[in-house]
Amino acid sequence: MSAVTAGTVAAPDTRRAGFFQLMQSEWTKIRSVRSTIWSLALLLVLFPGFTALLVSLVVAGWDDTSAADRALIVADPAAVILTSGFLVGQLAICVLGVLVIASEYSTGMIRASLLAVPKRVPMLTAKAAVFSLLVLGVSLVAAFLSFFIGAAMLNGKVPVSLGDEGVFRAVVGSGLYLSVLGLFALTIGAIFRHPAAGITGVIAFVFVLAPLAQLLPGEVGEYVNAYLPTEAGPLIGQAQQGADDLLSPWQGFGVLCLWTAVLFALAAYLLKRRDA
C-alpha cells in the first residue's frame, strides 16, 4: 500500500518538474532571440509615446473641440489615454508572437525541440505560457506608465485617477489584452509555420477583417464586427462600456480568449499531425 501511495504522489511532482523545465528551456530560447528584445522595447516606446502624442493633441485642441467630443472624453478619459498606445503597440506584439514559433520552423530549430519533447503539445503549451507571461509583464509596465503620463497631461482638462470607477481594470486590462493578443499571434504562427505567412495572417485579422465586416449591411455587419477578436478584445481597455458597444469590457475580452483557445487547439492538433 505504501509503495502504491508513494508512486501516486511522486508522479504529479515529476510531471510538474518536467513542465517547469520545459518553461525554463523556452524562456532561455525566447530571451536569447534579438527580435524578442527589440519588439518588447518597441512596445515600451510606442505605448507611452503614442499616448503622450494623442493626449497632447487633445489638450492643445481642447478649446476647438466640439461639445459632443468633449462629452466623450469626459465620459471615459482612461480610454482616451490608453487606446491609442495599445492599438499601436499591438503591431509589435503580433509580429513578435508569430516570430517566436515560426522562426523555429524557418531555422530548423523546431526539430530539436520536438525530439526533446516527442508528445509536442507540452512544448507548445510551455512556449505559450512563457511568452504570454513575458508579454503580460512588459505590457503592464507600459500600460501603467502610459496612464500616469496621460493622466498628468490631461489633468488640467479632465482629472482621472486609478481610483475612478473602472480605471484600474482598464489599465490592467490593456496589459491582459496585449498578452492574449500575443498568444493569438503565436497560435497563428504555429498554424502557418512560416514567418511571412504568419505575419500576413495575423495582420489580416487585426487590421483588415474589421473594415471588411463594417461593409456588411445592417445588424449582420454590426454583430460580425463586434465579435471579431481585435474589435472585442480592446474593450477591456475602456473604463466604461460605450453606448454603441454590443459587448461589455469583460465580455469582449472573453470573446478574444475564446478565439485564442480555438486557434490554440487547432495549432496543437496540427502540430501532432504534421511533420516538422
Which range in 20-24, 147-151, 153-157, 272-276 is most confidently predicted, on average pLDDT? 147-151
Check whether 165 has a pLDDT greater than 70.
Answer: yes
- Predicted confidence (pLDDT) per residue in 63-74, tens digit: 888 888 888 888
- Predicted confidence (pLDDT) per residue in 27-59, tens digit: 888 877 777 888 888 888 888 988 899 889 888
Query: CA-CA distance, 15 to 122, in Å (whole number)?
Result: 10
Cell output for 42: 518597441
- Predicted confidence (pLDDT) per residue in 95-108, tens digit: 899 988 888 888 87
Alpha carbon dihedral 105, 109, 111, 115, in 10-degree steps, equals: -140
> Mean pLDDT of all residues in the chain?
85
